[in-house]
Amino acid sequence: MSQLKELFNEGMWKNNPALVQLLGLCPLLAVTSTVTNAMGLGLATLMVLVGSNVTISAVRNWVPKDIRIPVFVMIIAAFVTIIQLLMNAYTFGLYQSLGIFIPLIVTNCAIIGRAEAFASKNPVHLSAFDGLMMGAGFMVVLLVLGAMREVIGQGTLFDGADLLLGPWAAVLRIEIFSFDNQFLLAILPPGAFLGLGLLIAAKNVIDAQIKAKQVAPPEAEKGPRARVTSLT
Amino acid sequence: MKLTMASSPHNHSHKSLNKLMLTVILACIPGLIAQLVFFGTGVLIQLILALLTVSVAEAAIMRIRKRPALTALSDGSAWLTAVLLALSIPPLAPWWIIVIGCLFAIIIVKQLYGGLGFNLFNPAMAAYVLLLISFPVQMTAWLPTADLLAKPISFTQQLSVIFNGYTTAGFSVDQLRVGIDGMTMATPLDTVKTDVAHGLTITESMQSPLFNQWLGKGWGWVNLGFLLGGLYLIKTNVINWHIPVSFIATLAICSGIGYLVAPGTEPGVVFHLFSGATMLGAFFIATDPVSAATTNRGRLVYGALIGLLIYLIRTFGGFPDAVAFSVLLLNMAVPLIDYYTQPRTYGHGMKK
């Protein structure tokens, strides 16, 4: 159980692909102009990540070490193709608005990174959970950044959610404020860089505060120190 | 007796930061007066708004960073940013334009990088680019000079336009920009650029009432004002001559070559030097001691490249003026320029 908890922590916070590893920044910066786009790409990446992690973990003992990277890339590409065809079939509007960034999931370093660093060394169930958590961590950052940019840029939230979730979702659109002029910078790529920078800064501030709180207690216990050989 | 050893240079100039900044602000006055005369009193309202906003922003951030707010404010650097930004935007831009610009300049460009002395980019110009990219309509709504306006606008009318978007009689900025002949007026740089793109020659383009003979009405005087202020800055040793001279010389050489090659579609040296923000950029913006190159040879390179970029963007680029873009691009290049232009330390590395 603690292993799962550790994986959860790693993916969502400590080793978050977007905020700490800074992987997959190309789609992160390019498609987060609205929450809907962010959610679409986040879900697609999540599914690819889980699928590729499971498959790679299942075949890890049969893949020769020397050619593992091409094999991993082919597995990832297969999953991306599946996702792309699915999105083309069921969420065509979103498929069009995400455009090239769906096939580009293949090149998302977060996916190949997890395949190499985790799935190729761990059993299937752990790899699946790792893929889920890493994907979720990536998606959360996408969503937060998308929400920031959409609110600042055009004053709405969930604009165009019906493209992803079907016609009923049109009611999700929230108009927070209306303004004659869009704040274009937030929607354009520089806004994504500024937004991501602010998010990383916020994470570092929170980490620093947590650290400052944690440093205090251990000073109290100063008993005789037994030497324990490293467990890992 | 205690002897303290400070690092070189030991020659102290006895100018406090506060005094330096105030001198620069003072030197803006001739240009400011020219703007007031030709483009109306709106610039004063923008100036007051800008000064208020930067003061509040700087003080708030300093409090958050747990540093003395008054010391930071009294060095005057934030006020200089406010003045430069207020001088660069159209006088009748809505109030939120200058407020957003000032907040961005102080909070993001200056303080998030560590405050005065640590900012990579010139705060006023970074804010100007943010505004230009985000709100192109408001940021290009320059009025023609006062004598070309169909309806003269009083101070209260300008106040009303800035805060409500309309004069008390209900005219919007776009309607105010319409000249006596019913045509909307752009800035001289913009007019020349559009006309040339439409196949007119410079002489034909200069027939527009916006121009008198060679220069855009009003703009020549504004630039002359900033030139005067800039010469005062050089005379009082607040800035070095290297950046403005290489900046202006390069722009003059480039536009001169352009004029010789294509006299029909190139407005020539004088027009380039006395239009848009050339003089403001050369003496007040490119010379920002924090974000500019620091060695003398580096300053020459830095100024020259800014001049070159301004000519290229004005002539071939998508925007009519380019001081802000060029300065920001060269701000990025400053570490490289400084690296390659380090002066030889005395006694080291003699040439063989």
B136 CB neighbours in chain A (<8 A) are: 184
State the burial class of residue A63 (Cβ atoms within 10 Å of its Cβ: 0-12, 13-18, 19+).
middle
Alpha-carbon distance of A98 to A103, in angstroms, equals 10
The answer to whether A183 contacts B134, with C-beta atoms less than 8 Å apart, is yes
Alpha-carbon distance of A70 to A132, in angstroms, equals 23
Q: Which residue has the tokens 């216990």?
A: A221
In this model, does residue B352 exceed pLDDT 80? no
What ipTM, to 2 d.p.? 0.73
In this model, does residue B300 exceed pLDDT 90? yes
State how far Cα B261 lies from the chain centre: 29
Give per-residue pLDDT as tens, B121-132.
Answer: 999 999 999 999
Number of domains chain A is built from: 1
> pLDDT averaged over chain B?
85
Residue A217 is predicted with a pLDDT of: 59
In this model, does residue B185 exceed pLDDT 70? no
The answer to whether B134 contacts A190, with C-beta atoms less than 8 Å apart, is no
> Has residue A170 been placed in a domain?
no
- Give residue B55's pLDDT band: very low, low, confident or very high (50, 70, 90): very high
A183 CB neighbours in chain B (<8 A) are: 134-135
Mean pLDDT, range B177-189, rounded to an integer: 68
In this model, does residue B45 exceed pLDDT 80? yes
Mean pLDDT, range B83-103, rounded to an integer: 91
Residue B13 is predicted with a pLDDT of: 64
Low-confidence ranges of chain A (pLDDT < 70): 1, 166, 180, 216-232
Question: Bigger pLDDT: A200 or B200?
Answer: A200
Residue B51 is predicted with a pLDDT of: 93
Highest mean pLDDT among A147-151, B152-156, B196-200: A147-151
Residue B245 is predicted with a pLDDT of: 94
Alpha-carbon distance of B334 to B294, in angstroms, equals 8
* B336 Cβ neighbours under 8 A, 6+ residues apart: none
Residue B57 is predicted with a pLDDT of: 92
Give per-residue pLDDT as tens, A185-205.
Answer: 888 888 888 888 888 888 888
- Give residue B68's pLDDT band: very low, low, confident or very high (50, 70, 90): confident
A194 CB neighbours in chain B (<8 A) are: 108
Percent of chain B with pLDDT over 70: 90
Best residue in A181, A187, A188, A196 for a mutation probing chain B (most B CBs within 10 Å)? A181
Structural domain containing residue A112:
2-142
Q: Give DSSP secondary structure letters for A50-80.
A: HHHHHHHHHTTTTS-GGGHHHHHHHHHHHHH
> Has residue A62 been placed in a domain?
yes
> Has residue A104 been placed in a domain?
yes
B130 CB neighbours in chain A (<8 A) are: 185
A181 CB within 8 Å of a chain B CB: yes
Residue A187: closest CA among chain B residues belongs to which residue? B134
Interaxial angle between packed helices B95-103 and B42-64, expressed in degrees from 0 to 180 and rounded to the nearest 10: 30
Distance from CA of B313 to the nearest CA of A (A): 20
Interaxial angle between packed helices B296-316 and B323-340, expressed in degrees from 0 to 180 and rounded to the nearest 10: 150
Alpha-carbon distance of B281 to B289, in angstroms, equals 13
Alpha-carbon distance of B299 to B293, in angstroms, equals 5
Asked whether the CA dihedral A187, A188, A192, A198 is positive or negative, the reply is negative
Distance from CA of B133 to the nearest CA of A (A): 6
> Has residue A86 been placed in a domain?
yes
B134 CB within 8 Å of a chain A CB: yes
Say if CB B274 and CB B192 are below 8 A apart: no
Residue B299 is predicted with a pLDDT of: 92
Beta bridge partners of B215: B212
